[in-house]
Chains A and B, each alone.
Chain A
């Protein structure tokens, strides 16, 4: 479904991604871990089409299409969803209105009719319940004045309503209390399906206890330096990243 080959990207003069390779198939859940500043969010944003970042090398294919040629909205309509590490506030625009506009944009692209308000409300209410969200948040302006946890849950709600083919969740588990974490995990698990791929960026093993990944990758300095199964995540939890870095350094020395 998604194939990333030797991807390099920079912001201004700073090169951030330095040769990322990753293959994600439908039905899979991947976890990407790695120290702060290693480029996880950048990778997510580049896949979504943020033009702050310039791709200097490599390619990204989505269902065989060259993703890098598409605008962010085209990618979204094709079914790529990014849950932001820092969800953005849009004052004065109600969450519901935002959600409905987004859903109809995506539906239109897929050749579906726009949902009328009644059907839309039914869908949203059902998803809200699934996530154990407070319905009052629907009437409030998008993310404005939401608590950290509410923002994250709101991202998951958007995902659940938009039903993307590929969902990338950037640290959607950080800052959640334990109940919220469970609710978010339940939301993610409910989205798991043979037609859909999910990539979770996380620092914590905790989420992965609830959402079992098929693959775990570790990013460091703009590259995926290690891939494995959920055991790798447990190991990281026990030992941190330093052992990886040491191994990297050794490997680096043996290369020279």
Chain B
């Protein structure tokens, strides 16, 4: 019986389009981790003393920790001594540079990835920080932004130029003691983006960072810190890809967001790390800690993510809702195909009065993919009048994949209102047949059904990326039907 299941299975035959390798010489530290490696990373990045101290403290703490195993994902033990913790294109020098100082091979790489860095071809209305392995290779539109007082640069640059901001906010949302991977990141983090939007400024362009892992056996440990001061607004997007390799690579990032009174941060992710091949060989382990602090009253942090890549994803972009009336949002589409595994979701911690949160999670599983939603809504005693709405929907394509939901709820204030809805649907042979009876091909039918399913989330993405996201979504599921 070919009731769509075989067709759906066949639909997973799409190749990863970003799997090429850039032929560029890298300068890397030898694999392994110890205090000397950390000192060397810090030295190469010409970091201020406090940062090195902080890294070492994190490292010492990490040594006392155990790798978490509670997530609903399976993978062999990671040998942390076999990973390279710092890799940079040869001749890389820190600091802003003009485009003609950048290796043309790098420019070509970003061009190929659809992120042209040069003046004429750049995406309109988007500033890009390009991070290649452990370093930022270019940041665009910096000058224009600085006229508004907006700082947008690589983390390393920020550590050197704005040490007081970095020292004040680094670890203030995700302390290095938070969890195993956050501690590891704090010890060895390489590059990432830093953004500060001053009081009352609305950032006029989308800020974005494009992360690329190129070097072999290298971990990427980026660190991103975004601060929106009183009344500020910023929308930020990160994109990620990596070449095809048959060994797994570790990506353990930390992202911290801080929103002051009346400030809004919109953080979007289009994660398309190499997912591994059809047999489940290779792919990125994406173990990420993302958290935002709504520190000020009526501040707002909104996470939107489209997770299509990685062999394993372990991430829970969360919000600490401290300021009165502050708002946290989480919109997520996670796709697992072939042997991909995702354990993702969010935590909304309501601390202030009248805080509100919305969670919309859409999981799509195809092939042998396993997709777990794990979400926590915690309403503390102080959170008088807090409200949460959660909706978690899963869609299964085929019958060898799985969807799981783990909602945790803790309500300590009786005036709080919490609503939770969940659904699981199998993309029906019925639905596909209905569309085909109206003249659509199977591929078009599935992509229409999936785009309908994910619409509520994708419409939260910045306009400039919505089309790309839609395309990525159908590509990552293409070939699993018909």
Contact = CB atoms under 8 A, between A and B. Distances in A.
Contact of B448 (A54, A101, A106): A101
B437 A92 contact: no
Interface in B426-466: 428-431, 433-442, 444, 448-449, 451-456
Given A92-B451, A92-B452, A101 B440 contact: yes
B1 A52 contact: yes
Main secondary structure of the interface of A (DSSP, over half): mixed
Contacts of B456: 92
Interface stretch (A21-29, A71-79, A123-131, A239-247): A71-79
Contacts of B431: 88-90
A92 B438 contact: no
A65 interface: no
B63 interface: no
B124 interface: no
Contacts of A72: 433, 436-437
Nearest to A107: B439
Interface string A112-135: 000000000000000000000000
Main secondary structure of the interface of B (DSSP, over half): helix
Contact of A98 (B448, B453, B454): B448
Contacts of A226: none
A45 B2 CA distance: 15
B3 A102 contact: no
Chain A CB within 10 Å, residue with most, of B2, B429, B438, B442? B438
A90 B438 contact: no
Interface string B262-294: 000000000000000000000000000000000
Contacts of B429: 52
Contact of B440 (A75, A81, A105): A105
A88 B436 contact: no
B448 A73 contact: no
A84 B440 CA distance: 16
A105 B439 contact: yes
B441 A73 contact: yes
A88 B448 contact: no
Interface residues of A, number: 32
Nearest to B454: A92
A141 B434 contact: no
B398 to A, nearest CB: 16
Interface in A185-226: none
Contacts, number: 79
B1 A98 contact: no
Given A52-B3, A72-B433, A84-B434, A102 B453 contact: no
Contacts of B430: 88
Given A51-B3, A52-B3, A52-B429, A90 B437 contact: no
Given A72-B437, A101-B448, A92 B455 contact: yes
Contacts of B435: 90, 98, 102
Contacts of B454: 92
B473 to A, nearest CB: 13
Interface in B379-431: 428-431
B444 A101 contact: yes
A152 to B, nearest CB: 14
A183 interface: no
Nearest to A105: B439
Contact of A90 (B2, B439, B452): B452
Contacts of A98: 435, 438, 448
A162 B435 CA distance: 13
Interface in A3-20: 12
A71 to B, nearest CB: 7
B67 to A, nearest CB: 38
A156 interface: no
A88 B453 contact: no
Nearest to A12: B1
Chain B CB within 10 Å, residue with most, of A71, A75, A91, A102? A91
Nearest to A92: B452
A31 interface: no
17 contacts: A51-B1, A51-B3, A54-B1, A76-B437, A81-B437, A88-B433, A88-B434, A89-B431, A92-B452, A92-B454, A93-B452, A101-B444, A101-B448, A102-B439, A105-B440, A105-B444, A162-B438
Given A88-B433, A88-B434, A90-B434, 19 more contacts: A49-B437, A52-B1, A52-B3, A52-B429, A71-B436, A72-B433, A73-B439, A84-B437, A88-B428, A92-B452, A93-B448, A93-B449, A93-B455, A98-B438, A101-B440, A101-B444, A101-B448, A102-B440, A109-B439
Interface of B: 1-3, 428-431, 433-442, 444, 448-449, 451-456
